[in-house]
Each structure stands twice: as C-alpha cells, then as structure tokens.
Structure 1
Amino acid sequence: MNGKDTELLQLAADYRDSLRQSVYFVRQLDVEAELSAAQLSLLNMVADDGLRVSAIAANLGMKVPSATEAIKRLETFGYLERSTDPEDSRAVVIRLSESGREIVTQSNTRRNELMAELLARLSPAQQECLRAAIPVIAQLNSTFTQGN
C-alpha cells in the first residue's frame, strides 16, 4: 500500500468516525421533541415524492419488516399514508399526509434553530470551513446515491 492509499484510508476512517459522532449528536439534539430523530428521518425521506417500503428500509439500513413497523407507527399517528405506485400497481408508495407535512416542518424548524445555536459557538472561520465542506459532502452523497 502506498502513502496515498494510506492517507485515503485514514481520511475514510476519520470521515466515518465524524459521521457516526454527528449521528449520535443529532439524535440527542432535541430529546424533548414529539418525534424521535429516526421517525423524523423517515418522514423527511418520503417528503418529496414518497418511496416504496423497500427503499425506505434500504435508506434506514434495516430489513423491510422493521421498516414496515416504523411506517405503521407513523401511519397510526396520521403522519403517513399509502398510495398505489403509479409505475407498478402492485406496489405501494409511502407518502406524507398533510399532518405529516406539518409536523415535519415544525420539527425541522425546531432542530434547525437548536443547531444554529450550537453553530453560533463556532468562530466565523470555523463556520466558513463547515459551509465550504457541505457541497463536498453533498457531492459524495450524490455519488453514493447514484451507485458510483
């Protein structure tokens, strides 16, 4: 293994560790909230066009039966609804209900406000570094999403 490979492996390890710590942090950001971080993540995931249960499970890193249980719980609260997939009438797409859209907006606003309070503790230079990193992370996420 050459030096460049070793550097990339270390960057990968550091990045993964940072992401893991960020996930822990974000999950604890608003423990008083009506929705858990996992529930809000699922609701945000289907906010645009909705998704099939199998895609939700894959995005959450769980098996379909576990995702189905999480979906059923949110359906019980009235936040999700099922509809026929327009591309395959045998399949179901999970979408936000109107009340789901409202709770997602409220929850995201609250969590963004809490995060902004924490980001205000960073120096302007640190805030700029974070701002500059976001497009790079978005590109990396896009590459992963596209399967490249």
Structure 2
Amino acid sequence: MSEPQPDELLRLADQFRAVLRDAAFLMRSLDVDSGVSSSHLTMLNLLAAGPQRVNVVARHLGIKVPSATEQIIRLEKAGHVHRSPDPSDARAVLVRLSAAGDEVRARENRRRNEALAVELGRLPAADRDAIAAALRALERFDVSLGQSLRAGPGRERTTEAGTTER
C-alpha cells in the first residue's frame, strides 16, 4: 500500500469532519423529546467515571470554565449533580453525579441507543458490518489523536506499538 498523499489526507480529514458534524446534528435531534440536551448528557456521562474538578469538566467538553460552571449549576438545580469543595485543594470544586442524575443518564443513553438501534436494524447486514469495522478504526484514531493532543504540537508521542514518533 502506498503512502497517502497530503491532498488525499486533507480530503479525508474534510469528509471526516463533515460526517462528524452531521452526526452531531442528528444526535442532537434525539434531544427533542427528552428535555435533556446532548451537552448535559455528555456531562453526566463524564461524571459517571467519578467526581471531577470543574476545570477538568470544561477541558473534556472543550468549553471555558465559566460555561462549564453554568451547565453544572443548571444540572445541580435539576438535582442531577452535587458540588463540593475539593478536599485536596480548598480553592477547587468537585462535581459528582447524584443518584437522580445517574438514573437520567442511564435512561437517556438507553433511549438514544434504542433509537439508533432501530435505524441500524434498517440497514443491510453488510452496512452494519462496515459500521462496526469503522467504529473499531475510529476508536484507534481517537486514541492516536488523544495522544497527539496530550503530547502537544511537534512533540514526541508513544504509539500503541510502544514506539515514539513526532
């Protein structure tokens, strides 16, 4: 297999971003009947891993701390999260999922998954298999991109094979 050319990679990147953007719009359309926005569900899913500092939540969501704080306050008023001082740093605030928030998270994930499963069921088996294979490749890409972002521009990173590259 030949090395991909820069123009090919740019076209692929453009198509990739367009598909992700369209998929994000479609996923948001699943919000209409629930009253729980995709951004709130994303935050609830993030907090399911355990308590997080507000700045960590903001970084994971790709938003500024004040925007994350606004969302957290709305979720707290709805009874979905709790805020408390971070015992390791009194200046920081920890956010954790409440029992009610975990119930909402599970229900909304299930509802959205069921809606997607219906659509996946309408596809031919070959298309479902292709999507499953693409998802495995996307998971590898996600790991690779995450490593690059954590390493920073122009810095070495460790690949899955344990080698380093720029």
| TM-score strictly above 0.5 | yes
- 1:22-101 matches, within 5 Å, as 22-85=23-86, 87-101=88-102
C-alpha spacing 1:86/1:133, structure 2 compared with 1 (3 Å):
farther
Q: State the shift of 1:18 in Å.
A: 0.5
AA aligned to 2:80 is Y
Q: Which residue of 1 aligns with 2:160?
A: none
Structure 1 residue 87, shift from structure 2 partner: 4.7
Work out the CA distance in 2 between the residues paired with 1:144 and 1:54: 21
- Structure exhibiting the larger radius of gyration computed from Cα positions: 2
Q: Residue 62 of structure 1: SS of its match in structure 2?
A: coil
Counterpart in the other structure of 1:128:
129
Who is 2:16 aligned against?
15
SS state at 1:49 partner: coil
Count of residues in correspondence between the two structures: 147
Change (3 A) 1:141 1:127: same
Is the alpha carbon distance of 1:3 and 1:139 closer, same or farther for their aligned partners in structure 2, counting shifts above 3 Å?
closer
User: TM-score scaled to structure 2, two decimals?
Assistant: 0.81
Identical positions, percent: 41
Residue 93 of structure 1 aligns to a residue in which SS? strand
Q: Show the counterpart of 2:156.
A: none
- 1:143 aligned partner: 144
* Residue 104 of structure 1: how far off its partner (Å): 0.4
For 2:36, give the aligned amino acid.
L
Change in Cα spacing, 1:52 to 1:7, as seen in structure 2 (3 Å) is same
**TM-score (normalised: structure 1):** 0.90
- Aligned partners of 2:87, 2:10: CA distance in 1, in Å? 43
Instruction: Assess, with a 3 A threshold, how the Cα gap between structure 1 residues 66 and 30 changes in structure 2: closer, same or farther.
Output: closer
Q: Aligned partners of 1:65, 1:136: CA distance in 2, in Å?
A: 35
The structure whose residues are more often helix, as a share, is 1
Give the whole-Å Cα distance in 1 for the aligned partners of 2:146 and 2:133.
Answer: 21
The gaps in structure 1 that reach 5 residues or longer are: none
Aligned Cα RMSD in Å? 1.8
Task: Report the alpha carbon displacement of residue 141 of structure 1 after superposing the two structures with TM.
Answer: 1.6
